């Protein structure tokens, strides 16, 4: 922002005034950037250095070596995981972690439930954090397990050799079939 344009025109002749205004303009830009950065810390999805404060408020262990995505997911899980635990709450928590759809299958006879991934193939990268978050919110007497989604031979048999020759079966199991 060029602040000199807000001064009367006779100041335009003074190099000293121009230098002062240029310096003030630069400071103004830096202050605006700082304000915007602080505002970003108020929202979980845009916070970076502010995640430490979110974790402290929610009594979560601060792990700065963990990715920002996983830290944000843990914070969202804690916020969503308060109150009475229901099937919908567990589903909501899981979906906030994996950014995909899950289904919760209850097994009342053996006091357990299954978290079934519906639209994510393979094992999500942050499944360990999801496990610990589910352990924190679920009733202690319930067990749980995960059910993952993979491609089968039938779902990839239509692909040509050119489409798959650089892949392994491990990659093909989680690849989106064309």
Tell which residue, 65, 102, 91, 59, has the closest CA to residue 78.
Answer: 59
- Residues with Cβ within 8 Å of residue 123, at least 6 apart in sequence: 146, 148
Tokens of 16: 């000293």
Neighbours of 135 (CB within 10 A): 10
pLDDT at 74: 83
CA distances from 90 to 54, 96, 129 (A): 21, 10, 14
pLDDT per position in the chain (178 positions), as tens?
Answer: 677 777 887 777 888 888 888 888 889 899 999 999 999 999 999 999 999 999 999 888 888 888 898 888 888 878 876 677 889 888 888 887 777 889 999 999 999 999 998 887 878 877 888 888 888 888 889 999 999 887 776 766 777 667 666 676 666 666 565 4
The 10 Å Cβ neighbour count of residue 161 is 6
pLDDT recorded at residue 34: 96
If we measure between CA atoms, which residue out of 133, 134, 150 comes closest to residue 142? 134
What is the reported pTM?
Answer: 0.54
pLDDT value at residue 178? 46
């Amino acid at each position: 922002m060029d602040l000199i344009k807000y001064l009367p025109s006779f100041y335009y002749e003074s190099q000293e005034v121009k230098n002062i205004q240029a310096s003030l303009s630069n400071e103004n830009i830096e202050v605006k950037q700082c304000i915007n950065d602080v505002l970003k810390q108020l929202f979980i999805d845009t916070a970076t250095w502010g995640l430490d404060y979110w974790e402290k408020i929610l009594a979560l262990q601060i792990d700065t070596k963990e990715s920002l995505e996983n830290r944000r997911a843990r914070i969202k899980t804690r916020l969503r995981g308060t109150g009475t635990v229901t099937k919908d709450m567990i589903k909501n928590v899981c979906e906030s972690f994996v950014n995909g759809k899950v289904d919760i299958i209850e097994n009342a006879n053996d006091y357990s439930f299954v978290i079934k991934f519906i639209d994510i193939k393979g094992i999500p990268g942050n499944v360990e954090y999801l496990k610990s978050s589910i352990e924190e919110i679920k009733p202690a007497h319930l067990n749980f397990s995960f059910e993952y989604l993979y491609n089968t031979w039938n779902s990839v048999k239509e692909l040509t050799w050119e489409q798959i020759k650089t892949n392994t079966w491990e990659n093909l199991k989680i690849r989106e079939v064309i």
